[in-house]
Amino acid sequence: QKEVEQNSGPLSVPEGAIASLNCTYSDRGSQSFFWYRQYSGKSPELIMFIYSNGDKEDGRFTAQLNKASQYVSLLTRDSQPSDSATYLCAVKAQKLVFGQGTRLTINP
Amino acid sequence: GAVVSQHPSRVICKSGTSVKIECRSLDFQATTMFWYRQFPKKSLMLMATSNEGSKATYEQGVEKDKFLINHASLTLSTLTVTSAHPEDSSFYICSSHGRGLTDTQYFGPGTRLTVL
């Protein structure tokens, strides 16, 4: 079992719709959870971090964490073509571990 | 967030040569930096944790003598790929924690290494 699992996609969402990305993790001792966006050929850029169960909103993004289910998600409202990228979930217990990423395409 | 730079952004070298990649934290002093490698369409894999003034901590399976890390100052860490071979071709990315945010990592722009 991979430590951090994401659906590799690709996930296609129409412009203006909500994009929902999911991530599960295996280490119950994980305390910090991150979502990064990575455009092709570029390095990851931080979108959000979340530490506590529940929802955290920042602009068009909402991160959701459920530690009991070992599940973290990222919702993007009013998706734009510029949101098309690979989204990396990262989870930290002793060290930061990345999922393989979900490729998201927003269709105009 | 933190500002992290890397140099060079792209390097092409012949097999057998050594390549040095620099990672700088521009707006704060970083006692710890991280080096990752990413192969095409794969996720980031932590290679080593670079500690200012002490030896780096390497992840299992990463050759210490192959990937030399030096963190001589609070703003600069270097990764040297020694005797590079085509299988070392990859995207190398460094990161650092932001000031006061010890869990959050901010990434440099990355270095694309191609070994011929």
pLDDT tens column, A47-80 = 999 999 999 999 999 999 999 999 999 999 999 9
pLDDT at B101 over 80: no
Spell out the residues 6+ positions from residue A63 whose beta carbon is closer than 8 angstroms to its own. A33, A35, A48, A49, A50, A55, A56, A72, A73, A74, A75
- Partner residue facing B105 (CB), from A96, A100, A101: A96
Question: A15: which DSSP letter?
Answer: T
Q: pLDDT value at position A91? A: 95
Residues from chain B contacting residue A95 (CB–CB below 8 Å): 46, 49
B1 touches chain A (CB under 8 A): yes
Q: Does residue B15 register a pLDDT over 70?
A: yes
**End-to-end Cα distance, chain B:** 36
- The 10s digit of each residue's pLDDT in B30-40 is 888 999 999 98
Cα gap B39→B42, rounded to integer Å: 5
Residues of B with CB below 8 A from A31's CB?
Answer: 103
Instruction: Inspect the interface and report whether the beta carbons of A98 and B42 lie closer than 8 Å.
Output: no
Kindly determine whether residue B108 and residue A43, on different chains, have CB atoms separated by under 8 Å. yes
pLDDT of A8 reads 83
